[in-house]
Structure 1
Amino acid sequence: MADPRRSEFGDFLRSRREKLTPKAVGLPIVGRRRRTAGLRREEVAELAGIGVDWYIRLEQGRTVSPSVTTIDALARALRLSKAEHGHLRALARDADRRAFARESVPEPLRRLVEGLNQPAYITGRRWDILVWNKAADDIFAFGRLREEDRNSLISMLTNPRSRRLFANWADEAKRMVAQFRATHDLWAGDPAFLELLQRLREGCPEFAGWWGAHDIKSVAGGQKVMNHPKKGQLRFEHASFQANDDPALKLVIYTPV
């Protein structure tokens, strides 16, 4: 693991440990009063069947290489969800040390999106909005944004129009932050991702608290309700698809309900 990823690995362990209680994992509450919430490091180590010093090194982000068996034991000890378990495994793998570069969309895929009647767009690994069609522009007004603002997170969290558009803006925005966290941590320390985080901190008062919670959610389809200034209330089902041309590209399609 590269240094920033080790730090994210340790921060994630600590955040999950602090959210658990002895009662939640079946441990008796004995001994001196706890000064902080959550499990103690030695309790997590015991539950996972590993040494306390080893666990401390992991949580401190020091140069250690946990095995898959150790990762799985920690996931069980910390009661991680499937998405959180997968995230922990991904962080433990060797990092891709290439600097981030904005993706390009192959022409056949671009034409496919532009030819769809339903709102559709393509995002890259950093959630930059790379291609969209007229139906999507009618709803989200991507074409009115500056190029540097064409990013799903920037648009959702810092654009006042989005706060008015989405009926459940706070829930939607918080969910997106938890989904993006899984991607960000794999690119921790990359200048492009650091720049994005800085813009989100400056442009969204709620972001720092959501980010500090270190929640992880998998990307999944669902429904969105929007209050469009001209079209009235809109309800969509949405789903996303990974492109075979480039796994970094994600096609998002909205279907009216």
Structure 2
Amino acid sequence: MTDDHGMGAFLRDRRARVQPTDVGLPGGPGRRRTRGLRREELAALAGVSVDYYTRIEQGRETAPSDAVIESLARALRLDDHERAYLFTLADNAAHRAPRQPVTPSSVVRPGLAQLLESVRTNPAFVLSQLNDVLAANPEGLALLAGIERWPVGRRNLIRYVFGDPNARTVFVDWERTARNTVAHLRAVSATSLYAADLTALVEELSASSAEFAELWRTYDVRVKTGSEIRFRHPAVGEFSLRSEILGPGPDGQRFVVYQASPGSRDQDALVLLAMTIDGGSGERVTS
């Protein structure tokens, strides 16, 4: 019995990444048949029996305590994002309620819709946890060249990154953007709230993009936070913006706005970007 999609798969992947010498264990002579840590080595580091750890990894123990999960996270040297992901996987395995309950909704809250307008001329979006574009101001649509041609119900940042040729021009460091986008989706995948939609999205992208499929198999986990991104626009050129992310709220929605440093050339670029939108005017687009 194996757990190919949940906690067991993640534990196996992370166990394979940790070298014995990383955690103070001798590497031993000759080649090891096991990549990374053996089960017995990880069990010893976490203070649990080999049999108990094996049952967790194989999905036969579905309710390990928080203390055991914390010990495994420390032994595997997980960062905060990976640790939170492991705890969520453990909650799912035990059929426990989410620690931060979310009721997903695609209906944009009036306050967020108003906020989209108030931040112009900064590009801004309301996104679901799966990166569906629930709403965007005109500057947001202008920033992601080509996304305005997607059917409203199909607009999704992950689809855009891997499925729209424009994305490789828009994101100057496309590879980094692709890695971070998939790592965020992996983090969200821990909760069963999005299971059906997530499965459909992953299957769709895996079939259409070998690059997505390869990144999905890496099990990298990263919740998106504010970061600086270098963009390229055909009418504006290259410029850097920093994203600020509010949420997710109880409905799973995130507000994402891109800003430039005051008085910088990047801020001048935002002014030029706004001028490309029907003479600087436009309507908020929602799904």
Q: Which residue of 2 aligns with 1:134?
A: 138
Q: Which residue of 2 aligns with 1:233?
A: 238
Offset at residue 6 of structure 1 (A)? 8.4
Matched, 1:103 2:106: yes
1:112-154 per-position Cα deviation (integer Å, ceiling 9, x unaligned)? 2133211000011221110100111111144321134311111
- Identity of paired residues, percent? 33
Q: Which residue of 2 aligns with 1:248?
A: 252
* SS at 1:206 equivalent: helix
Contact 2:105 2:252 in 1 (8 A): no
Pick aligned residue for 1:46 from 44, 56, 68: 44
1:1-257 paired onto structure 2 within 5 Å: 7-30=5-28, 33-93=31-91, 94=95, 102-117=105-120, 118-141=122-145, 142-187=147-192, 190-242=195-247, 244=249, 246-257=250-261
The answer to which of 197-206 and 24-33 deviates more is 24-33
| 1:115 counterpart letter in structure 2 | S
1: distance between equivalents of 2:194 and 2:33?
A: 32
TM-score of the pair, normalised by structure 1: 0.90
2: distance between equivalents of 1:181 and 1:233?
A: 30
Offset at residue 63 of structure 1 (A)? 4.1
The answer to which of 197-206 and 220-229 deviates more is 197-206
In the superposition, relative to structure 1, how do residues 6 and 200 fare at CA in structure 2: closer, same or farther (>3 Å)? Answer: closer
* SS at 2:131 equivalent: coil
Offset at residue 107 of structure 1 (A)? 2.3
Offset at residue 19 of structure 1 (A)? 0.4
In the superposition, relative to structure 1, how do residues 145 and 41 fare at CA in structure 2: closer, same or farther (>3 Å)? Answer: same
Gaps in structure 2 of 5+ consecutive residues: 262-287
| 1:140 counterpart letter in structure 2 | L
* SS at 1:92 equivalent: helix
Contact 1:149 1:155 in 2 (8 A): no
* SS at 2:245 equivalent: strand
* SS at 1:170 equivalent: helix
| 1:242 counterpart letter in structure 2 | G
| 2:254 counterpart letter in structure 1 | K
CA-atom RMSD in angstroms: 2.5
Runs of 4+ in 1 over 3 A off after TM superposition: 4-7, 30-33, 94-98
1: distance between equivalents of 2:4 and 2:96?
A: 10
The answer to which of 183-192 and 112-121 deviates more is 183-192
Contact 1:6 1:63 in 2 (8 A): no
Offset at residue 37 of structure 1 (A)? 1.4
2: distance between equivalents of 1:178 and 1:56?
A: 26
2: distance between equivalents of 1:74 and 1:9?
A: 12
2: distance between equivalents of 1:122 and 1:96?
A: 26
Gaps in structure 1 of 5+ consecutive residues: none
1:38-83 per-position Cα deviation (integer Å, ceiling 9, x unaligned)? 1101100011010111111111122420111101110111111111
* SS at 1:239 equivalent: strand
Contact 1:123 1:250 in 2 (8 A): yes
In the superposition, relative to structure 1, how do residues 32 and 49 fare at CA in structure 2: closer, same or farther (>3 Å)? Answer: farther
* SS at 2:240 equivalent: strand
* SS at 1:185 equivalent: coil
In the superposition, relative to structure 1, how do residues 101 and 75 fare at CA in structure 2: closer, same or farther (>3 Å)? Answer: closer
* SS at 1:220 equivalent: coil
Q: Which one has a bigger Cα radius of gyration?
A: 2
Offset at residue 208 of structure 1 (A)? 1.6
Contact 2:62 2:90 in 1 (8 A): no
